Chains A and B, each alone.
Chain A
Amino acid sequence: MENIFRSWTEFSKRQSKTLRGPLASGFVKLAEESANEWGTKPYPRGEAWKYVNFRELPQTHFRWPEEDGVTTQVADPNFYTFEVRNFVTPQPLNVAELPPGVRVQSEVTAEQPITRALSDNPFEVMATSFYGLGLQIDIDSGVQLKKPIKIIIDLDKLSGKDLFIHQNISIGMKEKSAAQVFLEIRGEAFCGLANICLNCELGAAADLKVFSKEKGGPQSHFVVNLQSTVGESANFSCHDITLPSQWTRHNFSVDLREKASMGSLYGAYLNDKKNFSDHHTSIRHSVGATESREDYRGILSGQAQAVFNGKVYIAANAAKSNSEQINKNLMLSSDAEIDTKPELQIYNDDVKAAHGATVGQLDEEQKFYLQSRGYTAERASQILSKAFVYGLFDRESEQVQDFYGSDVANSLDRLGAH
């Protein structure tokens, strides 16, 4: 970890020169304090980091990309698409097409609670401190986007080894607004550590659906942080698929802050060879009559390792809340490992809450059903592995199916899911 924090402190000093106002010096101070706290330890030992295989992280000094790109909006009939390539110094963004009431800028200025940076998550500390880099999307009251926004963070365009990337995506949705955001992180050829933070603030009766996927390679290391605060009667959902990547850590949290708000987290991880993925999620029912759904599914082959740690917290004043959480894992190899911990913390008696986890093989009843219709055992297994993942999004729109479809199918072939 020390190498990461050394790199971070160095970057913070450089970054602070581009920032405005009193926060600038705060970043450097924060970086140095965090480096003192975290950087001197070999790696964190608390439960949140217990299973993380830090040894798989490169022990080298990370570097910033030598050449910076420019974030641009690209023409796309089906999406408002933005390709993020600005990784070092914030640059202005030329927006070609957006409906009224929607603003996208490449310099993130939205205020984010700096106290959060003192959490027990060093990657969150890092990601939230780099306000300037990334995209900020603001959607005005009552604006309902007909076309989704797509954000592509294309790390494959970067040359160089052991790169250190931070991106901060901030989405602010005023009351009664509605949007879908597709986030794609491409990094099959990327060598280094990318730390991506997605921050979503939903006003009353706002509706935001996020669909994300991360596609890494043998030298990619991703940390993806998501924080969402959900206002009264607002609805937030996130589908996230981790395609086979060397090392990934996800920290996703949803705060159902106002009454009648709803939050859903759906995720899949497809790990092969020695891939490591760790999904830590937290859903907080801060007030009553709130609702949450969580469904994470993993397929593991080879010597892959995965961690799922999902916490649902229902506060003492959150009566009439309703929560369902499940984590299912399909093990294709006896050498693969899953460490799963669905967790409920309930401080009110008048709630509905269910949680569970399964680890096993394909469902024999489903397999028999297909075989009884003439499918061979091998073909039935292929279809069911696909169905296991597709079940997370097969009732979504055709755009969503297209977004995930071929990547998931190709990944299942790689996993030898049959």
Chain B
Amino acid sequence: MLLNIEDLHATVEDKPVLKGIDLKIEPGQVHAIMGPNGSGKSTLSKVVAGHPSYEVTGGKVSFEINFKDTDLLELDPDERAREGIFLAFQYPVEVPGVTNLEFLMTSYNALAKHQGFPEMQEEAFLPFVKEKMKMVQMREEFLYRSVNGGFSGGEKKRNEILQMAVLNPRLAFLDETDSGLDIDALKIVAEGVNNLRSKDNGIVLVTHYQRLLDYIKPDFVHVLSDGKIIKSGGPELALKLESEGYDWIQ
């Protein structure tokens, strides 16, 4: 099993947000997590990635590393990233003074070094990253701008998917990657994610809306409410939520 979350509890500023989450993800699976505002969807993503503002107060999160289950909660956020955990941010932050190219190459090499595959210098990295940029239809000039500096909302989201493509994570959480995207941008982002699906990695889509799931077909859909998964099912569950809302389930 790639990720196994058991009875996970977490708080932010002493306020309980996750109140007993259970979730299992196998390699090759795509899971969608839906739920009303404030249900804990984003918190779950951030806790798995290791955000320092959240305190885990109970439960276990194990991640398979080299065929062994490892306690993910013992690792720092950067260690989790180097092991193949990726979080596509809902609000990607700007990092002035660091070009996108420098940022991507440093990240790539940090992971490569840790995972034991060859690091790349700029001459090898450039064609590699340009190929990935085609997937999300980003122009080359974005490589030479500072990270997310002056990017539109849609460009920032595409840049997140570009990072995912470059880092090729084993488990990716996409936190409301569809929010703020027009339909064309949504298709581009969805196509990028679909290209990155493989039998070896897992993807978790955190979203409010069914429309993302028209383009990325999940294997499982979970409904999160008040810090717990209250219902799980197949893609049909998302359709029912879209037409009937959350009231029938709560």
Binding site for B on A (CB under 8 A): 363-366, 368-377, 380, 383-384, 386-391, 394-395
Contacts and interface: CB of A to CB of B under 8 A. Distances in A.
A16 to B, nearest CB: 48
Given A369-B89, A371-B81, A372-B77, A386 B103 contact: no
A255 to B, nearest CB: 30
B53 A364 contact: yes
A375 B97 contact: no
A394 B81 contact: no
Contacts of B114: 374
Contacts of A386: 97-98
Contacts of A370: 95
Most B CB within 10 A of own CB, among A374, A383, A389, A394: A374
Q: Interface residue tally of chain B, by bracket?
A: 20 to 34
Given A364-B52, A395-B150, A374 B92 contact: no
A256 B111 CA distance: 52
A366 B95 contact: yes
Contacts of B98: 383, 386-387
Nearest to B81: A374
Contact of B50 (A371, A374, A383, A395): A371
B95 A372 contact: no
Most A CB within 10 A of own CB, among B95, B149, B167: B95
B95 A365 contact: no
B81 A368 contact: no
Given A364-B53, A371-B50, A373-B103, A394 B77 contact: no
Contacts of A377: 76, 78
B106 A394 contact: no
Nearest to B104: A373
Contacts, number: 77
B76 A387 contact: no
Contacts of A363: 93
Given A370-B95, A383-B98, A384-B95, A376 B78 contact: yes
B107 A374 contact: yes
B231 interface: no
B51 interface: yes
A248 to B, nearest CB: 23
B95 A387 contact: yes
Contacts of B167: 373-374
Given A373-B107, A375-B107, A375-B110, A394 B51 contact: no
Given A371-B50, A372-B86, A372-B87, A387 B163 contact: no
Q: Which 3 A-B pairs have the closest CB atoms?
A: A390-B97, A391-B96, A374-B110
A391 B98 CA distance: 10
Interface string B129-167: 000000000000000001001100000000000010001
B82 A374 contact: yes
B81 A373 contact: yes
B47 to A, nearest CB: 12
Nearest to A380: B78
Contacts of A365: 93
B174 interface: no
Interface in B37-74: 49-53
Contact of A387 (B81, B97, B111): B97
5 contacts: A370-B95, A387-B95, A390-B97, A391-B96, A394-B96
Contacts of B50: 368, 371-372
A380 B114 CA distance: 17
Contacts of A371: 50, 76-78, 81
Contacts of B78: 371-372, 374-377, 380
A363 to B, nearest CB: 8
